[in-house]
Structure 1
Amino acid sequence: MELIETISHETHVKPDFIKAILQLHAEGCTIPFMTRYRKEKIGLSNEFVVKQIISRHEELKMLSKKQKEVLQKLTDAGELSEGLKKYIQTATNEYELEELEQSFQPRAKGPQITLTRTALKPLIEIILKQENITVPLEALASNYVNEPSGLVSPDKVIEGLRKILAEELLRTPSLRTDIKNIYWSEALFQCSKTTEKDISSKFSEFDHFAKPAKDITPHQFLTIQTGVRQKQLKFTVTADDQTVLERLFARRISTQEPTIRFLLENVYSELYHEPFKNNLDAYVVKKLWRRAESVTIDSAAHTLQSTLALPAFGPQPVWTALYLPGDKKCLLATLDAQGQVTSHQDLSLAETDKPKSLEILSGLLLANRPALVIMAKRDHIREAWEAFKNLFKEINQSVPLIIAETSLPEICAKTKDAEKEFANEQLRFIVSLGRFVRDPLSEIIKADVLSLPLNPHQRIINKDALRKELDLVIETAVNKLGIDINHAPLSLLQHVSGLDPKAAQAIIDHRTQNGPFRNRTELLGVKGLTPKHFFLAGGFLIIPDSENLLDRTLIHPEHYDLVNAMAGKLGKTLSELFAQPESFRELPIKEFEGPETSLESLRLIIGEFRAPAKDPRADYEVLEPDPTIKSLDDLKPKMVLRGRVINLASFGAFVDIGVEQLALLHKSALSESRDAPPPPTIKLGRVLNFEVLEVDKDKKRIQVGFPVFKRREPPPDDKKNDQRETTDDPPTLKLPPTLKLRWTG
C-alpha cells in the first residue's frame, strides 16, 4: 500500500484508481483496453498516465528490493544507524543507493578502537550539535583523557576524535546530499576538440566550450556526447574545490569557536576529497544523461504522436509518380481503393512523345480513375508537374495533382516486406508514397520505429527505453481507430490491443482460408486465438458491413446487452438509433450507470451512434501548387500563400509553400500581440495561410509568418462597424465529400 500512496503523491491520481490499474495490469489487460473500456475503474487517466503508473510501480518494486538488500547488508555489518536507515527508506531511485554503496566505508574494527569510540561518544555528540561551545578544543579534549582507552593525552583524544568524527559524518545522509547539490551547482562542463585538425561543423561551437553543468541543455549535452563517440570532442567536469568547501562549511558549521571550527573544516575537507569527490564528476554526468534522455524520449514520442496523427486522404484510388529528369519521364504507379498496385509503367513527359503519353493516360483513367495524383518532391518537379497537368488538360480531364514530401515514405520503402513486394527500389518508393498519403499511420508502422527520424539524438540514448515509449505511442494511436479486420495487414493488426504478431497472423490466415469475417463472434473460431484475445481485441476490430450494426463500432461486445437494453428503454431499434442518435437525449442515463458502467463509458457508447468508429485524425486537405509560384524568384514579401506544415522543431516549423525549399515559420511568429488574433494551432500536415516575410535568394532561405490582421477604425457614423481586414485565402480545390472508413488497407 505504501507504493500506491507514493505513486498517488507523484501522479495526483487517487489510490483506488492506481490500485485498479495495477490489478487490471496483473490480469493481463492492455493499456488501450483499460483507458477505453474500464474508465469506471481507472477514472479519466489517459494511456500515458497509466503507463507512468505501471512503470513507476515496477521501479518502486525494484527499489524496495534494493532497499532491503542494502539495509540487510549494513545490519549484518553492524553499520546501520537511524540516519542511514531513514535515508535508505526514503530513497526515490536506485541511483542514490548505488552511490551510497560505492562511497560507503565500514568502520574500523578492533578492541582498542571500540574502547576509544565508546569513551569519545559524549564528546562526538557535543561537537556535532555545535551548541554552546565556548572553550578551545584542547581544553575540551583534556576532559576525556582515558589511559585504558588509549587516550593518554589531549592530543591523542583529538587524534581519535578526528577518526571517529569522520566515521559518524560519513554515515550522515544529509552530508552526502549537501555535497552532491553543491557540486552540481558549482560544476563547470568544459569541452574541446581532440585534434588540431578541423572537426565537423556541427561540433565546432563546442571547441573551447565552457558552461556551468546545470545550464547545459539536453541538446548541447547529447551533441557533445555524439562528438565524443566520433572521437572529435572530449570533455571534463570540474569544480573549484575551495568554493565547494566554503559553501559546505557555511551550510554545516555554525560554531564560532575557532579550534572546533578548524577541526570540523579539516574533517569535512578530508571526507570531500575521499571518498566523495571520486564519484562527483560521474554523478554530474549521470544526472545530465538522465535529464537529456528523458527530454529526448519525450520529444521523440511527441513527434511520433504528431506524425501518426497526420491527416489521411482515405481509402480512395490514387496514382503516384516519380519524375526522372534525365529521361523526361515519370515512373507511374496506380493504386486501387485498397492501396494495392494495379499497374505501373513509364509515362513520358517529353513533347515528342505526347500522343503516346495521352493514349496511356486515357487508358489508365478508364481502368482506374484516381481521386488524387501524387508526385514525389524532387529536382525539377515543378516543370514535371506542369507537363503532367497539361496532359490532363489535353484530354479534358480534371484530376487534383499534388507534390508531396518524401522523407518518411523513403524509410518505409526500405523495409524487408517492401523489398519482398517489389524488387525495383524506385517502384517501392512511389508505392509507399501513395500509401502514405492515403493513410500515414498504416504505412509508418511498417518501418522499425527506431529508424524513423524523430529526434536528432535518438541514436545515442537508451534504445530499450525509447522503443518502449514509442511502442506505446503506436499502440495508442492504432487503438484509437477502428481497425477493419477484413483488410488490415499484419503490420497494423499486431498493434491492436491484446494481439501479438502470432495472433495477428492467425486472423489473416483464417480470413484467407475462409473469406472475410461476417461478425465479431467468428473471431472465437480462429485457430490460435483464445477468449482472452477476443476479450482484449474484440472492441477495437470493426466489420464495416456486418449485419450486427454494433460490430461496425468501437462498442465492446461485452456491452451489447447493455446497448440493447438502452434501445429497449427508448423503444427504438438499433437502426433507428443510428439514424436518429439525438433520441438518446430522452434516455434516463443515470439508470444505466453502475459499478461496471461509468457515466463516461456510457457517453462513449452513445458517441458511437453519432459517429461510428470516428477517425480522430483531421480531414486531408488537397493542396495543389500555385501555378504562378514556381521558385524563389516568384516570392515577394507580404505575399499570402497556402502551405502545409511538414516538420516541427523546437525553434518553429517548416512549411511547404509550393517551391523547392521549405519555408521556416519561426516560433516568434507564434506569439500573440494586441494587433493580431491568436495564431492557429500548428500541427503536422495542417494547411494554413502564411505570409512571406523574407526571401534570401543567396542562402535559399524563406521565412514566413501568419497574415497580419490590422484593426481598422470604424466609420464615424457607424461605431458598430468594427471589423478586421484580412487577405482572402487563394482558391483551393474542394473535393466532394466521401464516405471515410477507418482503415481499409
Structure 2
Amino acid sequence: MSEYIKVDLFKLAASKLNLKKENIKTTVELLDAGNTVPFIARYRKEMTGSLDEEEIRNIEEKIDYLRRLNERKNDVAAAADKQDKLDEEILNKLKKADTLQEVEDLYRPFKVKKQTKAAKAIEKGLKPLADLIFNQEKNAAEIKALAQEQLDPEKELKNIEDVLSGAEDIIAGEISDDAELRKKLRDFVFKTAKITSEQKNEDEEGKYQDYYEFKESINKIPPHRILALNRGENEDILRVKVEVDDDRAVEMIYNLYEFDNRKSGTFEHLVNGVDYAYKRLIFPSLEREVRNHLTEKAEEKAVNNFSTNLKSLLMQPPLEDQRVLAVDPAFRTGCKLAALAEDGQLLDTGAIYPHPPVNKQGEAAEMVAKLVKKHEIDIIVIGNGTASRETETFIAELIKSGMDVEYTIVSEAGASVYSASKLARKEFPDLDVSIRGAISIGRRIQDPLAELVKIDPKSLGVGMYQHDISQKRLEKALNEVVIDAVNHVGVEINTASAALLTYVAGISSNNAEKIIEHRSQNGEFKERKELLDVYGFGPKTYEQAAGFIRLNSKEDPFAITPIHPESYRAAEKILENINYIAADIRDKEKLNQVREKLNNIDLVKIATDLEIGLPTAKDIVASLKQPGRDPRDSMPAPIFRKDILKIEDIKSGMIFKGKVRNIVDFGAFVDIGLKQDGLLHISEMSQMYVSDPFEIVEIGQNIEVKVLDVDQKRGRISLTLKF
C-alpha cells in the first residue's frame, strides 16, 4: 500500500515525552530486538541515557500508539484516494491529527455507509435539493416546487414531506460528518460538561445513596466517583448521563455554517437537520467519548494506585534468621498452625480450637506452647481474616503467662487463592488446603516477595474497584510491578521457586521449570554460566537473565552482585587497579578495605581506560562496595507486639505506632493493633493541602498516628498525622 504520510515517529515521541530522540530510537531498537525492560534499564544505560523502567515502558506505549496512528492515517488517505477525494487539505488535516479519534472524524465522509437515513436519501437523488437548502439559495416556494419534482412512489417519495424529510436527513448526515465541527463541539463538551446520575431502580443496601441526585463537572470529579457511578450503572441502580448546554452547542453549529433565519424561507428545514444531527448523531457519540475518557482516566488512576501499593507490599523487608509459627485463624473449623524454619521449610503442623463453638482453650494453649518450645519459635504470625483478633487475644494471653515470643498480624489476602492453586498442590500435595494457607501466611513475613509472587496480584487486597476496571489493563500493570520488584531485588537461583524464577527477565515459565529440574538432577548451581547447560536456555535468554540471578559461590564471586557476566572483566580490572581480586569481596575484613579504596578511585578515568560507559562503571563500583545487599533492607520492618489493644481502650488524643495496610484516593488504612484498621483521611495527612495520599505514605510504612475519633458502635477509628 502507498505511504501517503511519512512521520518521524522518534522525533514525535521525543516531543510528547520530553526525552531525547536518539535515546528513544535506541530504546525502541532494543525492545524490537527482543530485549526485556529490566535488562535495558539496568545494563544498557549508555545506549538509553539511563532511562528507568517506567520511562522505557512509556516509550514502548507511545511508539506503539504513534505507529497505529500513522498506519490509520495512511488507511484513511487511501480510502479518500480510492474515491478520488484526496487533496492537500485532507492530507494536511491528517498530518496534523494528534489522536485516533481525530483521524476517525476525518474518515467519516469516506466511510462506506449502507443503512443510514442520509445514505438512503442520497440514493433517491435528493442530494442536489439538500445542497440548495443547506446553502439557503432558494426561497420556500422554490424549494417546494423542486421537491414536487422529486415525487416518486417507487422510491417511497409519496409526498413533499417525504422529499423534504430526506433532504433534512442528508443535511444532518453532512453536519455529523464534519470533522471541524466535531472538534469544536468536542472541545466545548470537554470544557463544560457535567456528569449526572439519578436513581433508576431500588438500592436495597443504600450503597449508592450519594448518587441518587448527583451532578459534578467532568473536569473536577475524582476518579473513585467515576468508578462508583460506573458500578451503579452496571448494577442497573443508577441512570448516568452527560449534561451540557444544548442551546449553546446548537448555536455553535449555526454560527459555523452561517445559517441565517432571515436569509430564506427554508430555515425550518435547516433547524430540523441541525436538531437531528446534534441530538441523534453527534451528541450521543460525544457522550460516549466523555464517558470513555472519564473511565480511562479513572482506571489509569486506580491502576497506578494499585501498582504503587503492590510495589510497596512486595518490597517489604524479609525477616531473616527467624523461626515462625503461622496461625490461620478460624472459629468452628479451628486455627491451623504451621511451624516454619528460618528458610521457610515446613517443620510441623497442627490445629487448635480455642474459640466457640468448641472452646478448647486449654488444649490449644498446650499445643502452641509445645510447638514454640520444640521448634524454638521466635515470632507468631497471625492472619488477619475471620477470628483474627480473637486469636490475637488468645496468643497475647499466652505471652503474658510467660511464653517468650512476640506476635504480629499480617494480611492473609490471597492465601486461600494460593492454597487451592496448582502450585500449592504441587508444593504440598499431602497437606490440607487450610494448612497450605497457614504456610503462606507465615512465609509472607519471612520473605514477602518470594511468597507473594505465587499469588495473583489482584487477590492481594491492595487498591480499590479492582473488579470495575479493565482486567487486562490491571493484569498487565501489576505483572510489570512484580517483574520490576523481582529483578530489582535479584533471585537466589539455588532456592528460588519456579513461580519466582518466572518473573526474572527473559525467563519463561518453561525455563523456570527446567531450572528446577536441572537443580534437582545436578545439584546446586555454582556459576551463573551453568545456566547455559539448562535445556532450552540459549545465549539470548542467558544475556537477559544472568545479571538478575544471585549465587553465593566461591567459583563465581561476582554472582552475589548485580554485575552482569558481560562486565566481569571490567569488574576484575577495577579490583586489580586497587590490588584486590574478585574473591576478596566475599571476605568481610577485606571487603572493608576494598570499600575504602573504591571510594577514592577516579570513575571517569576508569570508564575511559576500560572503554565502558560511566553509568556502567558507577554500577560496578556500587555493587563491589555492597555485595549481597538486599535493597529491601532499607524498608520498614514489621511491628511486633506482646499485648493486644481493644477498641474500648482507645480514646481520642492517644498516639500509636501503626503500619499502613492500604492506600486509596481518599486516604490510607492503618493497622494500630485493633480488629479494624483505622482510617487516616487525606485531609488529616498534613497541615498543608494534600492532593494525593501517595505523596505522604506508602504501604508497609510505620507511622505514628493520633486518634481523632472513635465510633465503638460501628468499630471505626479516625486517625490524624496533624499533631
- TM-score class normalised by the smaller sequence: 0.7 to 0.9
Candidates 567, 574, 587, aligned match of 2:575:
567
Candidates 615, 637, 640, aligned match of 1:621:
637
Shift in Å at residue 300 of structure 1?
2.2
Shift in Å at residue 625 of structure 1?
3.3
- Is 1:178 aligned to 2:184, yes or no? yes
Shift in Å at residue 109 of structure 1?
8.9
Structure 2 match to 1:468: 476
Q: Cα deviation per residue 1:463-484 (whole Å; 9 max; x = unaligned)?
A: 2222222211111111001210
- Is 1:209 aligned to 2:214, yes or no? yes
Distance 2:221 2:695 in 1: 32
Aligned with 1:702: secondary structure?
strand
Distance 1:642 1:562 in 2: 47
Distance 2:312 2:670 in 1: 15
Structure 2 match to 1:76: 82
Distance 1:356 1:657 in 2: 26
Candidates 578, 597, 603, aligned match of 1:589:
603
Distance 1:37 1:483 in 2: 17
Residues 1:699 and 1:648: Cα distance change in structure 2 (over 3 Å): same
Residues 1:611 and 1:113: Cα distance change in structure 2 (over 3 Å): same
Structure 2 match to 1:193: 199
1:303 partner amino acid? N
1:644 partner amino acid? K
- Alpha carbons 2:231, 2:468 under 8 Å: kept: yes
Structure 2 match to 1:335: 340
- Alpha carbons 2:660, 2:699 under 8 Å: kept: yes
Candidates 604, 607, 610, aligned match of 2:619:
604
Percent of aligned positions with the same letter in both sequences? 25
Structure 1 match to 2:263: 259
Stretches of structure 1 lacking an aligned partner (at least 5 in a row): 128-135, 143-160, 709-745
Distance 1:278 1:697 in 2: 49
2:16 partner amino acid? E
Distance 1:500 1:408 in 2: 23
Distance 2:367 2:200 in 1: 64
Aligned with 1:665: secondary structure?
strand
Q: Cα deviation per residue 1:24-56 (whole Å; 9 max; x = unaligned)?
A: 112111000000001001113211110111122
Shift in Å at residue 555 of structure 1?
0.3
Moved more, 477-486 or 589-598: 589-598
2:524 partner amino acid? P
Structure 1 match to 2:716: 701
- Alpha carbons 1:436, 1:444 under 8 Å: kept: yes
- Alpha carbons 2:226, 2:298 under 8 Å: kept: yes
Structure 2 match to 1:371: 378
Candidates 442, 448, 452, aligned match of 1:440:
448
- Is 1:55 aligned to 2:69, yes or no? no
- Alpha carbons 1:374, 1:403 under 8 Å: kept: yes
2:464 partner amino acid? P
Moved more, 303-312 or 528-537: 303-312
Aligned with 2:631: secondary structure?
coil
Structure 1 match to 2:146: none
Distance 1:660 1:590 in 2: 56
Structure 2 match to 1:132: none
- Alpha carbons 1:375, 1:385 under 8 Å: kept: no
Distance 1:269 1:345 in 2: 74
Distance 1:345 1:638 in 2: 42
Structure 1 match to 2:683: 668
Distance 1:653 1:277 in 2: 39
Candidates 547, 555, 564, aligned match of 1:556:
564
Residues 1:6 and 1:300: Cα distance change in structure 2 (over 3 Å): same
Q: Cα deviation per residue 1:353-372 (whole Å; 9 max; x = unaligned)?
A: 86996587356534x32332
- Alpha carbons 2:46, 2:613 under 8 Å: kept: yes
Residues 1:96 and 1:202: Cα distance change in structure 2 (over 3 Å): farther
Distance 2:487 2:86 in 1: 51
Structure 2 match to 1:130: none
- Alpha carbons 2:399, 2:642 under 8 Å: kept: no
* TM-score normalised over the length of structure 2: 0.82
- Alpha carbons 2:463, 2:663 under 8 Å: kept: no
Candidates 449, 468, 487, aligned match of 1:479:
487
Residues 1:551 and 1:659: Cα distance change in structure 2 (over 3 Å): same
Distance 2:666 2:197 in 1: 25
Structure 1 match to 2:153: none
Distance 1:68 1:428 in 2: 56
Superposed, 1:423-462 pairs within 5 Å as 423-462=431-470
Structure 1 match to 2:156: none
Residues 1:423 and 1:438: Cα distance change in structure 2 (over 3 Å): same
Aligned with 2:540: secondary structure?
helix
1:208 partner amino acid? E
Structure 1 match to 2:115: none
Candidates 87, 99, 102, aligned match of 1:96:
102
1:371 partner amino acid? D
Aligned with 1:380: secondary structure?
helix
2:639 partner amino acid? L
Structure 2 match to 1:381: 391
Residues 1:561 and 1:283: Cα distance change in structure 2 (over 3 Å): same
Shift in Å at residue 650 of structure 1?
1.6
Shift in Å at residue 408 of structure 1?
4.3
Aligned with 2:704: secondary structure?
strand
Candidates 211, 226, 231, aligned match of 1:226:
231
Aligned with 2:524: secondary structure?
coil
2:599 partner amino acid? R
- Alpha carbons 1:654, 1:665 under 8 Å: kept: yes
Aligned with 2:263: secondary structure?
helix
Structure 2 match to 1:153: none
- Alpha carbons 1:632, 1:700 under 8 Å: kept: yes
Structure 2 match to 1:10: 16
Distance 2:127 2:433 in 1: 79
Candidates 55, 69, 72, aligned match of 1:66:
72
- Alpha carbons 2:122, 2:170 under 8 Å: kept: no
- Alpha carbons 2:109, 2:177 under 8 Å: kept: no
Residues 1:45 and 1:672: Cα distance change in structure 2 (over 3 Å): farther
Moved more, 527-536 or 377-386: 377-386
Aligned with 2:718: secondary structure?
strand
- What is the number of equivalent residue pairs in this alignment? 667
Q: Cα deviation per residue 1:74-108 (whole Å; 9 max; x = unaligned)?
A: 11112234333222223333333334445667899
Residues 1:72 and 1:492: Cα distance change in structure 2 (over 3 Å): same
Q: Cα deviation per residue 1:276-325 (whole Å; 9 max; x = unaligned)?
A: 34523323223233223322322222222222223332353211124555
Residues 1:638 and 1:238: Cα distance change in structure 2 (over 3 Å): closer
Distance 1:78 1:24 in 2: 41
- Alpha carbons 1:640, 1:691 under 8 Å: kept: yes
- Is 1:685 aligned to 2:700, yes or no? yes
Moved more, 347-356 or 695-704: 347-356
2:326 partner amino acid? T
Structure 2 match to 1:521: 529
Moved more, 285-294 or 181-190: 181-190
Aligned with 1:593: secondary structure?
helix
Moved more, 236-245 or 355-364: 355-364
Structure 1 match to 2:646: 631
- Alpha carbons 2:418, 2:455 under 8 Å: kept: yes
Distance 1:66 1:596 in 2: 44
Distance 2:332 2:75 in 1: 70
Q: Cα deviation per residue 1:506-528 (whole Å; 9 max; x = unaligned)?
A: 11110000000011121111122
Distance 1:5 1:341 in 2: 56
- Is 1:235 aligned to 2:235, yes or no? no
Structure 2 match to 1:154: none
* TM-score normalised over the length of structure 1: 0.79
Distance 1:70 1:32 in 2: 37
Moved more, 398-407 or 99-108: 99-108
Aligned with 1:586: secondary structure?
coil
- Alpha carbons 2:44, 2:50 under 8 Å: kept: no
Q: Cα deviation per residue 1:417-447 (whole Å; 9 max; x = unaligned)?
A: 2245264232122111101111222222111
- Is 1:290 aligned to 2:304, yes or no? no
Shift in Å at residue 559 of structure 1?
0.2
- Alpha carbons 1:323, 1:384 under 8 Å: kept: no
